[in-house]
Amino acid sequence: MTIPADLLKGLNPQQVEGVCYRGPTLLISAGAGSGKTKVLTHRIAGFLATGEASCDQILAITFTNKAASEMRHRTGDLVGLSVRDMQISTFHSVCVRILRECVGHLGKAKNFTIYDAADQRAIIKQICQSTDTFGLTASMVASQIGLLKNQMHTPDTYSRCLASNSTNGNSVTSITLQREQFILHVFRRYQEILKEANAFDFDDLISETVFLLQKSPEISAMYRNRWKYLLVDEYQDTNHAQYRLILELTKGDKSDMSLTAVGDSDQSIYAFRGADIANIVNFENDFPDCHTILLEQNYRSCQNILLAANALISNNQNRKDKNLWSELGAGEKVIAYCASSAEEEGRFVADRVRHLVDQGESLSDIAVFYRSNTQSRVIEESLIRQSIPYRVVGGTKFYERAEIKDILAYLTVIVNPDDTLALRRILNVPKRGVGTVSENRLVEFASARGITLMQALSRIDEINIQPSAKSALRDLFYLLNRFAGSSMPANELLDDLLKATDLLSRFNNTDDPQNEARKINIGDFVDSVEDFAKENPGGTLSDFMTNIALMTSYDQSDDAPGQITLMTLHMAKGLEFDFVFLTGLEEGILPHEMSLKEKNGIEEERRLAYVGMTRAKKVLHLSFSSYRKRYTDGVRLPSRFWDEIPQHLLRWHSRFTHKRFTGPLYGFTARPAGESRQSVHVLKNRYPRESFSISDSVKHSVFGVGTVVDVLGLGPKQIIVVEFADKRRSLLASIAPIVKCKQ
């Protein structure tokens, strides 16, 4: 077996090893920006080029449709042939394929519907009507049920778990126990409703596939024989259900199979979604025959950025040790900034962005990261004031907009008439005079007779409702029945549906300024169906609906030229920008205050900061504010992560004189001439610039003149309490923009 030289050209020695290794199990521990996708695609191409595998024997799994599409195109370009028969897709897509083929073994029909998060919340809200929810919202319950499913729990196993905890005397409060019992009740009823509707939610797709493979050894063996070469990207992000799926697809004799896992323990940041870092940390224990390769050469960032990131993440214990390095040169030092308020931090970002643009940089090469969406407002306002266009990744997603959900509900019922949730959504959409009373009587009629809502609709003449509503529902049934089972291409069916209903024309009323936007959205949806039809000749409506259901939030956000990008750190994973601003490096924000209560919480927060830092290619900006209004006394302490970054890698931007730098990179200097470094910066070994005593008269650049009423502590964390005209405030003396008033 000889790998073609073209597939190894331009690879470093570790990457070459990753492409050529031929043992049963391989772990590629790939640092940020180390070219892991290149290694993965070249490895797949190597299997094909040497004749070791055919396209249909390879299964490559990643986490987003976008990443899967990129991998598919790269592989196709390398081997110079179509890879249409190769399964390169997400976990959910793989599981949908298995379930469509074999779901009968679980007692469901192949035309099952896939419920999204909004559908899930709607069902849970129905279940919770007239019930004490113990302070839990539908979203909170949905999240908990999702985590339970990711841990492979069913209502029965969760019930036994609660009983075991109670029997073993585990200490839980009464309200906690009541909440857990309530979640169990909702979980059980929720699963019953899914079964009645012949539906799965997103988390079911994986857990139910695992149950299927465990229940049917012959089916499990069939897929192991089909996919001899399994490659899993972003292994650090796998949850327990995904981990169990991989074990099912690789168990038994490994002499004629190959498993490749690619990931980075330092970039595991999705614990809140159920991701378990132990999956990658313990990989070599799970697969004792594993060979491990470290990819440490970074092709993205300058060395100073990497040195700062390496220093930070080295403080974590639960990781595979590695140090990123680059041949791109030292680059600029990390630019650091301490703001007196969140608003000033926003102005700093906007000023720097404006200057970058003035220097000829593109807005699309700039990104601002923050720990939570609540931090974005002041940054957005500052950008707006300077007329800097921006986009916020993570707003209302296209397929979650009401007008699109309405059309999707119609299409869902056409594909799966048993879907009660979708049918209830469209009973009076567009408005046809069907009120709550008529809807409830229709539902009660179906429930009393043990039939589906669609079957009840077919017997509408037997139901005691207003004649006008009865006529409207009869027409709806005829309409849906007309399209049911249609073999028309999805785009043609949608065109006929829009003509037969008022789903589009209802927005012709110009009184509502949002109607034009809604019509444009529907037009975009029609375009998406047209594109699907072109890319998937012979694709059915069911295929299109499956494609839509599998879309994830970032798959829906286009690269928008001419705009700066704002997003949370969790959304930034897998991206890169020339210029990055990581804001809010404060205790309670990053690390988040909730992390202090969680096992290994600080390590997860440190990984989150590391991910943000390693998105930067040319220049990284780090900032924090000494004051934020949303906190009780407003005063903020700098994040502990500042202490973990070597000071010689930082270049501080002064705010005390409100003068810009005059250094070589942007025409700025590191600090005003004659001003000491200690007077500008705040970190370990920094002390208050002045000595404050009780009764001192002081002046703050934001709050004005006040009187010191208390002094707490010594050194860099000394707090002075000052009585200002509006209120009493606690300030960190080493960083507060405050001076003594001259006597």
Give the pTM: 0.77
CATH code at 5-102+206-295: 3.40.50.300
Kindly state the greatest CA–CA separation across the chain: 92
pLDDT digits (tens, 9 = 90+) for 357-376: 999 999 999 999 999 887 88
Residues in the chain: 743
CATH class of residue range 398-549: mainly alpha
Give the pLDDT score at 693. Answer: 85
Per-residue pLDDT tens over the stretch 328-358 = 999 999 999 999 888 899 999 999 999 999 9
* Residue 34 is labelled as binding a ligand: yes
Please name the residue that has the structure tokens 């019992």. Answer: 181
Q: Pick from 373, 371, 269: which is nearest to 313 by CA? A: 269
Q: Which CATH homologous superfamily contains domain 325-396+559-678?
A: P-loop containing nucleotide triphosphate hydrolases (3.40.50.300)
Please indicate if the annotation marks 35 as binding a ligand. yes
pLDDT of amino acid 399: 76
The set of catalytic residues is 36-37, 233-234, 267, 615
Q: Domain segments of the chain: what residues?
A: 5-102+206-295, 113-197, 325-396+559-678, 398-549, 697-740
Looking at the DSSP bridge assignments, the partners of residue 263 are 29
pLDDT value of residue 189: 96
Q: Do domains 5-102+206-295 and 325-396+559-678 have the same CATH topology?
A: yes
Q: What is the pLDDT, as a whole number, of residue 182?
A: 92
Residue 635 DSSP code: B
Dihedral sign for Cα 495, 501, 504, 508, please.
positive
Between 240-250 and 91-102, two packed helices, what is the crossing angle to 10 degrees? 60
3-state secondary structure of 80: coil
Q: Any binding-site annotation on 32?
A: yes
Q: Is 35 helix (H, G, I), strand (E, B) or coil?
A: coil
The pLDDT value recorded for residue 692 is 85
Residues (pLDDT < 50) of the chain are 552-554, 556-557, 632, 656-688
pLDDT score at 384: 83
What is the C-alpha separation between 40 and 62, in angstroms, rounded?
11
Q: How far apart are the two ends of the chain, measured CA to CA in Å?
A: 86
The pLDDT value recorded for residue 672 is 31
Partners of 4 in beta bridges: none
Whether residue 31 is annotated as binding a ligand: the answer is yes
DSSP, res 89: E
Tell me the CATH number for domain 113-197: 1.10.10
- For residue 73, give every residue at least 6 positions away whose Cβ sits within 8 Å of its Cβ, in sequence order, or none: none
The answer to whether 433 is annotated as binding is no
Q: What is the mean pLDDT of the chain?
A: 86
Q: Was 37 annotated as part of a binding site? A: yes
Residue-by-residue DSSP string for 291-319 = EEEEE-EESSS-HHHHHHHHHHHTT-SSS
